[in-house]
Structures are given as structure tokens and as C-alpha cells.
């Protein structure tokens, strides 16, 4: 076997020849670059390129690779390194979940050596290793995002109850540096609500202030605008300093209000039983399903970087750009709103205010899911060769939508302040 492997590795080295890219026929000037070496011509070459077998591109046939179970651990490492170097020479990269072992990687690669892929002469092509299909997971011992995102009893998650000490997020130096801004923000929060403001409108919006017709009637927007001016920030998104200011000011106001009512947060936490703590730590299955979706989006985008980059640079159709914006905007928004809707689900039947807020949060989560579904359907229309993974993502998101609607049957009819109230 050692002699054969030496010959195979030598053959792999010889296969690292320049590839004849037959797709140079777009007629687009290669000087039309966009920010870097990957230009419009490269993008169009990739988009309109034909899929070919890896074996045909590299000149190495799949039968030439011995199966993993016939090799020692050292031989697998040596052959895997040579194979991945060959793939990299032709700008191919298999995207594996973390912790996948070398023998599993090697066997997966040779099992898919005859898969058809698009070649790019100027950028790395990511090759999907997952189709996000729960019942056909290629790495069941190394990846469980399809089945579950976080175990219900996982108390190591950074957002688990009582795992974060907010005071430690701000060092003594930071505390001193932002003290003035914290006090200003507390004053802003305590300002009397302007009569023109729509109460609660910011709780059930999609967060896109730039396109919102109600910014002049939103207290949250007004506060953030004043905060931005106070911290000399011109960014659309909050800076790290602004987030620290908001966090510190909000936590101080909550503590001060509790203190006025004679309540001690530390004493309350100490009185909670272990059973109550476990219940607070436990995530609702629908929340985990939403978090799993967010992780799948991350994995899919990582596995299709060149595909998306090419389509954005070529800008053949604005639909792709809009679809990607929707999907990425709502990737984390959906699990956040789903979690908020479900955070007080046990009290929905006994408290009308909680029921109102839960339905409102579920409503905006459902609207975000609707728009994201449209985005994935647009991808499916424009990128049909990614059909398997796209259909499974659509299936996951559609199931999430159905489960949320079953949990909150009144959510769709919830009238969001401002947005769904024609009288305002």
C-alpha cells in the first residue's frame, strides 16, 4: 500500500497543471473590477459556467483513491493533505462542520469526487457538504444543528440565566469614560413621552429605520438619534460604545426602580429554587428551532460564498440582492423575536398584557419568516443547482412558521401600533 500511495501522491502532484478555462466568452472588459481582483468578468464566468465533475477537472479518477478503512491514520492524513492541496490548486474547498475527523473528511471527499461543480479561475469555490436534511445527515456524530441547536439543559450557553455579569462587561476605565453618556441616556429614557409618539411601535417593527415611515413618531428612534448625537456617532448601526451605554443605563434604571419598590435583585435570585432556575434556563422547542435556522443560514452562506459574491457583483437581477438582504437581516431577528414571544408563554392565559406582547412579537417574527421564505424561493429560482439544500432550508423555515402559528393562533390578526392601525 505504501508504494501505491507514493505513486498516487506523485500523480496528484503532476495533476496540478494550469486549467484551460473555456468560459472566457462573456465579452466583458476584465478591467471592470469591483473593489478587488474578483471582477464582473470573473463573476459572470462563474455564474454562467457549466458544472463539471471534479474528476474531469483534476484528471484524477475516484477509483484511484483507496477507501479510508484500508488506510492507517498516518496514511489518511498524508493522502488527505495531498488531496486538499490538489483541490485548492483548482480553487475548490469542501466546507465541513467543526470537529469532523480526518478519516471522515477523506472518505466524504472521495465519495463525492465525481460530483459536478462550477470552476472559477480567480476565486475559491466552496463545496457544500450538507444539504440540511435531518434524516440524511452525513456527519451525525459531529453535527446536530438540524435536530437541535442547544440542549435544553445546557447551562454553559452564554445567554443562560444568571450566567452573565453585566457589570463585568464594562471595565473600570470604560465605566469612567462613558459615565456622562450613560447619565444622558438615562435622562432621555425618563423624558416625558411626546404626544406624537405611537406607544410601543418599536416593539413590533422590523428594525429597518431607513425605510420606516414612522420614525418621527417612534420614541426609540428619537432616543437613539439623540444618543448618536451625544456620542458623535454617524453610523446607522449602534457602535460598541453606544451598546455599552444602553446596557449600563438600562440596567441601572431597572435596579433603581426595583430599589424604590423595596426589591433586592440579589435577594430575589437567591430565593429562587433550583427547579425554578432550571425552568428559566430551559428553552422552548420552537426557540431552539429558530436558533437552528439561524445557524443553518450561517452554514449555507459560508458554503456558498463565491456563488453569492458572483451574483452580487454581476448584479444581473436586483431580486438576488433584495433576497440576500432579507435573509441576512432576519437571520438573528427571527430567533430573537420568537424567544421574546415564548419567554412568558406560561402566563399568556392569565395576563392580558403578556398575551398582547407575545402575540405582537410572534406577529413580527411571522412577517420576518414570510419575507425570508420569499428570499429563499428567489434563490431557488435563480440558483437551481443548489436545489437540495435550498429546499431543506425552506422546509425548516416553513415548519417553524407553522409551529409558531399553532402556538399563537391570534398572532396574524394582531394590529401592530402604527403599521396595522389605519387611524394613526
Query: What residue spans define the domains of the chain?
Result: 2-127, 166-279, 284-407
Q: How far is CA 278 from the centre of its chain?
A: 27
Distance (Å, rounded) from C-alpha 293 to C-alpha 185? Answer: 35
Q: Which regions of the chain are under pLDDT 70?
A: 1, 19-37, 144-177, 188-189, 191-194, 227-243, 265-266, 268-281, 315-317, 348, 350, 422-424
E strand residue ranges, 226-282: none
pTM value?
Answer: 0.74
Distance (Å, rounded) from C-alpha 297 to C-alpha 352? Answer: 35
Q: DSSP letters of 363-423?
A: HHHHHHHHHHHHHHHHHHHH-GGGHHHHHHHHHHHHHHHHHHHHH-TTSTT---TTTS-TT
Distance (Å, rounded) from C-alpha 134 to C-alpha 391? Answer: 12
Q: DSSP letters of 298-364?
A: HHHHHHTHHHHHHHHHH---HHHHHHHHHHHHHTTHHHHHHHHHHTTGGGTTT-HHHHHHHHHHHHH
Which three-class secondary structure state does DSSP give residue 189? helix
Cβ burial of 98 (10 Å; 0-12, 13-18, 19+) is: exposed
Look at residues 88, 21, 17 and name the one whose alpha carbon lies nearest to residue 50.
21
Could you give the maximum distance between any two Cα atoms of the chain, in Å?
84
Residues 284-407, CATH architecture = Up-down Bundle (1.20)
Integer CA distances (angstroms), 21 to 42, 114, 314, in order: 11, 19, 19
| pLDDT value for 223 | 76
Which three-class secondary structure state does DSSP give residue 67? coil
Distance (Å, rounded) from C-alpha 27 to C-alpha 33? Answer: 14
Indicate the angle between helix axes 318-330 and 333-342, nearest 10 degrees.
Answer: 40
Q: Per residue in 21-80, pLDDT tens? A: 443 333 333 333 334 567 788 888 888 888 899 999 999 999 999 999 999 999 999 999
| pLDDT value for 182 | 77
Amino acid at each position: 500500500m505504501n508504494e501505491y500511495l507514493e505513486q498516487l501522491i506523485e500523480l496528484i502532484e503532476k495533476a496540478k497543471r494550469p486549467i484551460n478555462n473555456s468560459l472566457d466568452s462573456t465579452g466583458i472588459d476584465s478591467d471592470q473590477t469591483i473593489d478587488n481582483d474578483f471582477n464582473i468578468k470573473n463573476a459572470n464566468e462563474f455564474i454562467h459556467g457549466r458544472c463539471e465533475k471534479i474528476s474531469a477537472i483534476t484528471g484524477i479518477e475516484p477509483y484511484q483513491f483507496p477507501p479510508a478503512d484500508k488506510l492507517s491514520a498516518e496514511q489518511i492524513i498524508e493522502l488527505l493533505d495531498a488531496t486538499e492541496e490538489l483541490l485548492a490548486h483548482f480553487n475548490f474547498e469542501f466546507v465541513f462542520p467543526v470537529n469532523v475527523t480526518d478519516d471522515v473528511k477523506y472518505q466524504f471527499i472521495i465519495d463525492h469526487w465525481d460530483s459536478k461543480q462550477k470552476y472559477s479561475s480567480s476565486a475559491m469555490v466552496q463545496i457544500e457538504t450538507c444539504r440540511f436534511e435531518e434524516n440524511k445527515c452525513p456527519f451525525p456524530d459531529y453535527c446536530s444543528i438540524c435536530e437541535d441547536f442547544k440542549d435544553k439543559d445546557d447551562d454553559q450557553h452564554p445567554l443562560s440565566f444568571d450566567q452573565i455579569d453585566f457589570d463585568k462587561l464594562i471595565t473600570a476605565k470604560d465605566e469612567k469614560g462613558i459615565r456622562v453618556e450613560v447619565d444622558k441616556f438615562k435622562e432621555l429614557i425618563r423624558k416625558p413621552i411626546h404626544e406624537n409618539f405611537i406607544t410601543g411601535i418599536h416593539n413590533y417593527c422590523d428594525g429597518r429605520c431607513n425605510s420606516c415611515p414612522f420614525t418621527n413618531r417612534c420614541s426609540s428612534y428619537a432616543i437613539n438619534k439623540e444618543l448618536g448625537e451625544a456620542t458623535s456617532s454617524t453610523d446607522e448601526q449602534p457602535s460598541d460604545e453606544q451598546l455599552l451605554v444602553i446596557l449600563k443605563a438600562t440596567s441601572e434604571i431597572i435596579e433603581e426602580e426595583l430599589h424604590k419598590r423595596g426589591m433586592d435583585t440579589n435577594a430575589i435570585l437567591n430565593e429562587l429554587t433550583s427547579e425554578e432556575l432550571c425552568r428559566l434556563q430551559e428553552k422552548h422547542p420552537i426557540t431552539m428551532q429558530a436558533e437552528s435556522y439561524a445557524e443553518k443560514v450561517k452554514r449555507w452562506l459560508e458554503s456558498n460564498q463565491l456563488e453569492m459574491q458572483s451574483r452580487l457583483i454581476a448584479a444581473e437581477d436586483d431580486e438576488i440582492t433584495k433576497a440576500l438582504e432579507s435573509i441576512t437581516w432576519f437571520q438573528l431577528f427571527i430567533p430573537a423575536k420568537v424567544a421574546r414571544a415564548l419567554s412568558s408563554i406560561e402566563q399568556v392565559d392569565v395576563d392580558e398584557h403578556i398575551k398582547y406582547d407575545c402575540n405582537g412579537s410572534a406577529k413580527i417574527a411571522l412577517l420576518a419568516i414570510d419575507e425570508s421564505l420569499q428570499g429563499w424561493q428567489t434563490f431557488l429560482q435563480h440558483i437551481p443547482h443548489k436545489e437540495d439544500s435550498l429546499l431543506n432550508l425552506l422546509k425548516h423555515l416553513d415548519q417553524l412558521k407553522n409551529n409558531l402559528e399553532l402556538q399563537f393562533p391570534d398572532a396574524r390578526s394582531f394590529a401592530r401600533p402604527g403599521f396595522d392601525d389605519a387611524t394613526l
